[in-house]
Amino acid sequence: MSLFRPISGAAPRRLPGAAPRRSRGVRLLALMLAGLLAGCSVIPKSEPVRLFTLPAPTLPASTEATRDLTLRVDTPGASAPLDGRRLLVMPSPGEFQAYGGARWRDDAPRLLRDHLIEALRRDGRLAAVIDETSRAQSDAALTSHLGAFHVRYREGSAEVVVRLDVQLLDEVSREIRASRRVETVVASEDDGLEAVVAAFGRASDRLAVEVVDWTLAQLASPSS
Assigned domain for 139 exists: yes
CATH number at residue 102: 3.40.50.10610
Does residue 61 lie within any of the structural domains?
yes
Count of structural domains, the chain: 1
Before 81, cis peptide (omega within 30)? Answer: yes
Look at residue 43 and tell me if it is in a domain: no
In a domain, 45, yes or no: no
Dihedral sign of CA atoms 135, 140, 145, 148 in order: negative
Report the C-alpha gap between 128 and 37 in whole angstroms.
Answer: 59
In a domain, 27, yes or no: no
In a domain, 20, yes or no: no
- Do the domain assignments include residue 74? yes
Tens of pLDDT, residues 160-207: 999 999 999 998 888 999 999 999 999 999 989 999 999 999 999 999
Give the pLDDT confidence score for residue 184 in this predicted structure.
98
Range of the domain at 118: 50-219
Gap between the Cα atoms of 176 and 46, Å rounded = 46
Answer yes or no: is 213 within a domain.
yes
Confidence (pTM): 0.78
How far are the Cα atoms of 58, 124, 125, 192 from residue 61, in angstroms, in the given order? 9, 6, 8, 32
